[in-house]
Amino acid sequence: MTHLRAILDLSASEENLLSTGGKPVIKHLEQTMPEINPYFSDLVRQDPLTNCGNHVSFFDWLVESGKQDKFTPFTLLSTEIRGLRALNKKSGREAGDTALRWAANLLNRHTPERSYRMGNEFITVLTEGSLQSHAGKAKEIFNALNNQAAMVGLQTPLANVAAISFSEAELSTPENILSAYYGALFFLKQKPGTFFKIFDARQMSAPGGFVSFVVEHTVSRFTSIGSMMDQSNLLAFSDPISELPNARAGRLVLEETVKAAQQERAHFSILIVDGDTLKKYNQFSYAGGDEMIHRLGAVLRDEIRPTDYICRWKTGDQFLIILHGSLPQAAAQAGERMRVAVENKSKDWMIHSTISVGVAGCPQHGKNAERLIEVAESALKRAKEMGKNRVAIFS
């Protein structure tokens, strides 16, 4: 709550002016919106250049690692790419970016476990296998980086690589992990000619005094940034009237769904749903129209599967629904169930309501988000022209 108010630079009294149904909109969203779509949470935790995790996701892991009931020994692998500044100066930043992407891909090829990028450094948490095998994996990665350095215009030794093994739960607090990581980096920087070393966390000094305070404060600061980003996403990607994701969120999810379908050679369908009675509600009052939009969204949400996606779409009482794994004919049947549900459940509303539905399938009707939307809107227009209260597939 405090984070969101800070983002918008609102006082408590100013916040109360932003209200929905008499309730402050920020508080209303926090209490009623479903959990933030993992896609948007991941969005602020991913490095766009390499698709690795970023600072925020690493510090999230750091905090969660200290909460595990069962401890699993692990190794923190730090890979600091050398010579990037000189490469950027000589060949331009694009060359440096290419080198970082290459390094991230190499790490991904050598280990299935996630890496986090922080500037010119990568952190990889190794949990599979023994600590001894982790040391071997670290050496394997170090050698691979050096053997292929010339491919991206870098000289050897290409990286400072430190592998820090954590064999005891007592040593794996966020503060101890971060302190050991900084200690290993400092050691390599202070030892000219040493570019690879295996560390045992049991033999490293625990943080104390001022250092302990700085480490603890750093962990707290980065995790609070992640929380603030999540809450700002809630505000940016949600619709307070329907209590569903908004069109901005829907477009991003649709684009990601198209991308995933192309990679996996899968299919899905979309529905664009439009209410037929909003103008009648608004003739009574706009508050009545908002209430109808809220009720309509709730009915539609109840009719979809947990794996499907719904958001309020564009303006008025339009909704976009993504049906994963559904061919157009099956999607039309789902749309018909929704149409019947709205027709039946709205009998108790102020005005009996109906919906019209347009259906489009990927890849049958389009292979990108724009084309699918265009096709579904065309089908929706046909449903309206045929008399409303019906489902139409693009043809």
* Element housing 254 (H / E): helix 247-264
Q: Please report, for the domain that includes residue 205, its CATH number.
A: 3.30.70.270
Q: What is the rounded distance in angstroms from the CA atom of residue 228 to the CA atom of residue 51?
A: 21
First CA to last CA across the chain, in angstroms? 48
pLDDT at 94 over 50: yes
By the 8 A CB rule, do 57 and 143 touch? no
**Cβ atoms within 10 Å of 137's Cβ, excluding its own:** 20
Confidence of residue 3 (pLDDT cuts 50, 70, 90): very low
Q: 25: closest CA among 16, 36, 14, 13? A: 16
Local confidence band at 394 (pLDDT 50, 70, 90 cut-offs): confident
Dihedral angle at the C-alpha atoms of 46, 32, 64, 2, nearest 10 degrees?
Answer: 80
17 band by pLDDT with thresholds 50, 70 and 90: very low
Enumerate long-range contacts of 47-51, CB under 8 Å, 24 or more apart. Answer: 47/116, 47/117, 49/97, 49/100, 49/101, 49/117, 50/100, 50/101, 50/103, 50/104, 50/117, 51/104
Tell whether 35 is covered by a domain: no
pLDDT tens-place string over residues 342-374: 999 999 899 999 999 999 999 999 999 999 999
pLDDT digits (tens, 9 = 90+) for 233-285: 677 788 889 989 999 989 989 999 999 999 899 999 999 999 998 888 888 88
Residue type, 101: R
Residue 41 pLDDT grade (very low, low, confident, very high; cuts 50, 70, 90): low
Domain check: are 259 and 132 in the same one? no
- Point out the least confidently predicted range of 69-83, 225-239, 310-324: 225-239
Quick check: is 233 in a domain?
no
Average pLDDT over the chain reads 85
Residue 254 shares a structural domain with residue 189:
no
User: How many structural domains is the chain composed of?
Assistant: 2
Tell me which of 41-45, 223-227, 286-290, 385-389 is least confident: 223-227
Model confidence pLDDT, tens digit, residues 191-217: 889 999 999 999 887 656 655 666 666
Is 264 a member of any domain? yes
Both 53 and 202 in one domain: the answer is: yes
The two tokens of residue 93 are 């930043």
Confidence of residue 40 (pLDDT cuts 50, 70, 90): low
Residues 220 and 354 in one domain: no
117 plus 204 within the same structural domain:
yes
Which residue range is the domain that position 196 belongs to? 41-227
Least confident of 3-12, 222-231, 245-254, 358-367: 3-12
Q: What is residue 320's predicted lDDT score, i.e. its pLDDT?
A: 97
Do 206 and 275 belong to one domain? Answer: no
Residue 234 lies in a domain: no
CA 384 from centroid of its chain's CA atoms = 36
Instruction: Select from 54, 147, 38, 57 the least CA-distant residue to 102.
Output: 147
Same domain as 269, residue 150: no
Statement to judge: residues 153 and 302 lie in one domain: no
Do 205 and 264 share a structural domain? no
Say whether 212 sits in a helix, a strand or coil: helix
Q: Are strands 121-126 and 115-118 parallel, antiparallel or unpaired?
A: antiparallel
Pick the range with the lowest mean pLDDT from 33-37, 288-292, 307-311. 33-37
Q: One-letter amino acid identity for 30? A: E
Give the per-residue pLDDT at 29: 46
CB-CB contact of 241 with 302 (8 Å):
no
Q: What angle do CA 238, 244, 248 make, to 5 degrees?
A: 45
- Torsion 151-152-158-164 (CA) sign: negative
Strand residues in 185-290 grouped as ranges (E): 196-200, 238-239, 244-245, 268-275
pLDDT of res. 357 = 98
